[in-house]
Structures are given as structure tokens and as C-alpha cells.
Structure 1
Amino acid sequence: MKTMKLGNSALEVPVIAVGCMRIKSLNKAEAERFVQTALEEGANFFDHADIYGSGVCEEIFADAIHMRQDVRENIILQSKCGIRKGMFDFSKEHILESVDGILKRLRTDYLDILLLHRPDALVEPEEVAEAFDVLERSGKVLHFGVSNQNPLQIQLLKKYVKQPIVANQLQLSITNATMITNGFNVNMENDSAVNRDGSILDFCRLNDITIQPWSPFQYGFFEGVFLGNDKFPELNQKIDEVAEKYSVSNTTIAIAWLLRHPARMQPVTGTMNIERLKDCCKASDIQLTREEWYGILRAAGNVLP
């Protein structure tokens, strides 16, 4: 598994992150096999959130990996907080309480990365800064980031928060690629020219913030996967064509398409299928050509101006 620096930090991470949102669907033996497979593939970066399974997913993961000191030293743990029932909450009190709960469930003394999960309309960035300072001083969190935030939301945090923002987790896939396509539709009179995210892709590149694409196989908002879907015949034909050339699966090509972008993204997988996880990891060794990358983009229905 190839590695990369996360944001502007010195933290070396695999280019594929293993999302654990669905680990609750596995029984104990299946969860153990899944986690062990990830480690064997060199995918030792595990992404969590305190709301996944209402926290149960973190407990299941800790059991599955048989968490202890020697195990913890060889993995990278990321979790997220800020979503509560019926609201978002970036208050100092909630962030600190959330992290304590996360650490307890994961049976560890620290997180490598903490992300703020969804933008809080009532955020008081001074409180976030205080919470981050407490977490950093105590050693409970080593690095900090955000999720689903636009440039000005990040800038507002950065005005008060002294720690670097190393990552921004955003929805991105071949079929959900507006953050890419609006970049070459500048000043055009079409829907693709609409800037819905404040140029977050360019902002993250300019500020050395690693984009972590979530739902890399989904179309719409959790409407389903595009791979093998009759709604996307041209896209699947093109992906299958490229997959055959490299003797890999369509899953591998979908991840390789994200990795080919020079922003040096770190896709977050969501599968609990061991073979599909292996296919995701194989993307680390695939370098699509410019022609292949654009061919897949166009096959998804994107028209170049």
C-alpha cells in the first residue's frame, strides 16, 4: 500500500482509509477477519465517528482488532464528532465529552485525528479552539480536521484554532464530482458552472488539506452504487473496459480514478466485503492515464465545454 503525508503534517498514512460505519453488520468472527484483512493489505488507517451505530461500531472495532498497546502502535485511528440527535454541536463541552467517549469505546488513550463531522450553524470558533487546545495538551488528539465544510467555514475556524486543519472529508465519486467539474465550466451558462462548494477542491490544495472522499461508489445521497447499475450503462462500459486493461475489478478502477487526481486524496472505503476491500486496496498500484481519467469522467455524463 502506497502512503502519503496527511495534510501538512508529518503523519504518514496509507492512501486508502478503511471506513468502519457498517462494521455493526458483521458478527464477531467476520469483524475480526475484516480488520485483519485490512492490516494485511497495509490499510491500517481506520475511520470512525461517534454516531456510527450510536458508538457501538467503535466498540466492535476495538474488540475485532483486540486492542492493546502493541496493536495501537501500528494503526492510525480517526474519528468524528459534532452530530447529535436533531442538531449539530461544536461546543467545547460536547467536543470534550465526545472525545472521552470515543477513546473509551476504542480502548485507546489517543486519536491520531479528530474531525468535526458536520458544520454547526451555531459554532463559536473560540470554543472549538479551547477544546482543541485541551485535547492537544492532554495528548488525547494528535491532529485535527473537519468534514463536509466549505472554505469560509474552515477559514473561520482557522482564525481561532492554532492547530493545522489536516483533512476535510467530503462526498466525492465519479458520479458526484461537481467539485471537479465546476472547475472547467467557469463562466459557462450551464448547471455544471454552478459553484456549490466555494471551490473547496482548490482551497484544500492551496492550504495543504487532504480531501478524504466518502461514499466513493455512491450516486446521489446514498441512493445506491453506480457500479453495475443499469442507470449508468455508458459509465460502466467504460470502467469495465479500463478494468480489463489493468486486469482488475471495476471497484479498483473507481478508487484509482480518485487517486489519479493530483490533489492527493485519501478515499474512505465503506465496504464490509473482504474481497471488495482488497479490490479497493489494489487501486494504490494503478495509475490511470489522462485519457482514461477523462474518458471515465465523460462517460458519467459530464460534457467538456
Structure 2
Amino acid sequence: MMTRSESTRIGLGMMRIATLEPNQIRDLYHGAREAGVKLFDHADVYGGGEHGCERLFGEALELSSSEREQIVLQTKCGIRPGVPGFDFSAEHIIRRAEESLEALRTEYLDVLLLHRPDTLVEPEEVAQAFDALESSGKVRSFGVSNHTPRQIDLLKMNVSQPLKVNQVQFGLGHAALVAQGVAANMEGLEQSTNRDGGLLEYSRINGITLQAWSPYQRGFFNGLIFDHPELSKLHRVLDKLSKEYATTPTSIATAWITRHPAKMEVIVGTTKASRLHEAVAGAEITLTRAEWYELFEAAGYQIP
């Protein structure tokens, strides 16, 4: 398949394909590939809790071996479908990974992430699962999602494989990851509260790629930043920069994330290939420092 140069900074989040017909999934996939996207992000609980979206993807596409080798399939496990809580036991991780392989109709996963922290985790159980999945060729690399530095260090007590990815919510509408560091040592300022243990710096020091999920959401699913009534100042700055760069607000919001030297990846959960094209275009823009901080301040964060 002919594509633009491959984009390693933008991935397609597959959570929303449960509402699509097979031909629409195929159109979305091909649109993503034409945009240069090669990373497709799944989770075992997307689409009803039992590999729903993974199964729809696998059945709709039935990828050839050559096409499969050109993309990155990433999925997540650890959330217990249908009941509260999480499960990082070796049995659960291995079983859910194998079920994902069957649903996606693939012989291997490029990346397997632990979805949300399990406070009952026993690192030796995770290590047992990762070793079994790696040695069998079923999973090629591993990571986590929504984990703090100390939670990652706890896993590393026993896990020998590099944890290459940590998928976290981040964007102009959810920027505590950088906002707390900008306002460090500012007593009484809510923004300065350290909620993640210095995750941004930890990731850069340890070579962990941060993947930004829901990059255009305000807070925790409080609406998109582009039409949020409390973000009129941000809208003005996005519109201004969109005109200056001859692009769209989505591209500028993406460029704000990819401008950071942490070299983050952006997982765009969309059913519209056009949104992916905008995101890819944004990843090719390098904002100036002044523009980056102007957007940051317009989003409601303070610069001391």
C-alpha cells in the first residue's frame, strides 16, 4: 500500500470503532495508512469488555502477512471486564493477551501494555507472564498505561524486559504532566501540586515513550477543547496560529504535544481519517518556544 512517509508520532486509537460497519473500519484503516499512520492502539475492554473492537478490526481487515509486518499493533490488558478492579496476575495477563491475538487475527502483538495500575500487583507474576509471552513470540515488547514512576519501579524489581511505553492522558486540556513542573516551588498554587511523582522527567531519563491519549479532551472527558465554552482564549490562539501556519486547530493542538522534547506520541481516538491527516500534519510543525507557552497560558495554566 502506498502511503506518505511513515509517521511514528501519531497512532490511531481504536476504542470508537464499535459503532462502525466492516467497510467503514476498512476505510478508516486505509485512510490512516494513507496519512502515514502505522500504530493502531487497542485494549481488550474496548467495545463491550470482551475484545469487541479487536475482533471487529481483525474480522474487517484480515491483514496479509506483508501488511501486518508494516504496522504496529498495540493492545492493553489488566482491567477486569464487567467487574470493578484490575488483575495483573500471570494467568490473567497471558490469557487476555492470547485472546487478543485470536480476536485481532495475528500471531504476535508488537506492544502489550498494562492498562491501569493494579494495587494488588505482585511483580513476580507480571515477570512470569511477560517472560512466557516473549519467549513464545506472542509479544515483542511491553509497557504500561497510567502508571507513576514508583509503580513502574515496582514492576522493574522483577520484570526484565524494558518497559518502553507509558500511555497517559495529555494535551492542552489536560496538561498537569508539564504544568506542575512549570509552577514548581510555588507555595499555595494548585498547579504546583505534584500528582504523578515527576513522571515527565522520569520518562525522559529512563527512555520511556509517553503516549498521549484523549489529546484534545478538556479534563477527564469534559468535552473537546475546540468548542469548550471555558476556553475562549485558547480558541483565539489556536485560530491565530492556524492561520499563520495555514493549517487547522487540530494540527496546532497536536503540534503543541509533539513540540515537547520528550518526543511523545499522540493516540488520536477518531473514526474520521481526516482528523488523522490533521494530526499527522501537526506533528510536522515545530512551534517556537513563545508559541508553545502562549498556548499553554491560553489553556488556563499559569506561568510564574
TM-score range, shorter chain: over 0.9
Deviation at 1:276, TM superposition (A): 1.4
Aligned: 1:249 with 2:245: no
Unaligned runs of 5+ in 2: none
User: Contact between 1:36 and 1:65, CA under 8 Å: does it hold in 2?
Assistant: no
The code of the aligned residue for 1:238 comes to V
Whole-Å Cα distance in 1 between the matches of residues 125 and 155 of structure 2? 10
Deviations 1:50-107 (A, max 9, x none): 0001211011112333323122111110000000121100000000000010000000
1:162 matches 2:160: yes
* Aligned partners of 2:183 and 2:302 also within 8 Å: no
**Mapping 1:73-152, distance limit 5 Å:** 73-84=69-80, 85-152=83-150
Do residues 284 (structure 1) and 290 (structure 2) align? no
Aligned residue in 1 for 2:34: 40
> Once the two structures are superposed, what CA deviation does each residue of 1:152-211 show, in whole Å capped at 9, x if it has no partner?
000011111000010000011112111101112121111011000001000000000000
- Structure 1's 118 and 2: CA in aligned 2 closer, same or farther, altered over 3 A? farther
Counterpart Cα distance in 2 of 1:2 and 1:209: 24
CA distance in 1, matches of 2:32, 2:228: 27
Q: Distance in 2 between matches of 1:184 and 1:291?
A: 14
Q: Give the match for residue 8 of structure 1.
A: none
- The alignment partner of 1:44 has SS state of strand
How far did residue 132 of structure 1 move?
0.4
Q: 1:119·1:149 contact (CA, 8 Å) conserved in 2?
A: yes
SS of aligned partner of 2:113? strand
8 Å CA contact 1:2, 1:285 repeated in 2:
no
- In the aligned structure 2, how far is the partner of 1:64 from the partner of 1:253? 32
* Structure-2 change in CA distance of 1:294 and 1:19 (3 Å): same
SS at match of 1:22: helix
- Corresponding residue pairs, total: 296
Identify the residue that residue 65 of structure 1 maps to in structure 2. Answer: 61
Give the conservation status (yes or no) of the 8 Å contact 2:171–2:217: yes
1:258·1:265 contact (CA, 8 Å) conserved in 2?
yes
Q: CA RMSD in A?
A: 1.2
Distance in 1, Cα, partners of 2:278 & 2:61 = 21
> What residue in structure 2 maps to residue 10 of structure 1?
none
Give the Å deviation of 1:231: 1.9
Does structure 1 conserve the Cα–Cα contact (< 8 Å) formed by 2:59 and 2:105? Answer: no
Letter in 2 for 1:65: L
Q: Which amino acid aligns with 1:75?
A: I
1:229 is aligned with what amino acid?
H
Aligned to 1:178: 176
Q: Give runs of ≥4 in structure 1 deviating > 3 Å.
A: none
Contact kept in structure 2, 1:79 and 1:111, CA below 8 Å? yes
- Asked whether the 8 Å contact 2:256–2:287 carries over to 1, the reply is yes
- TM-score, structure 1 length as denominator? 0.95
Of 44, 48, 60, the residue aligned with 1:50 is: 44
**Contact kept? 1:77, 1:111, Cα under 8 Å:** yes
Letter of the 1:290 counterpart: R
Task: Determine if contact 2:149/2:199 at 8 Å carries over to the other structure.
Answer: yes
- Give percent identity, aligned residues only: 46
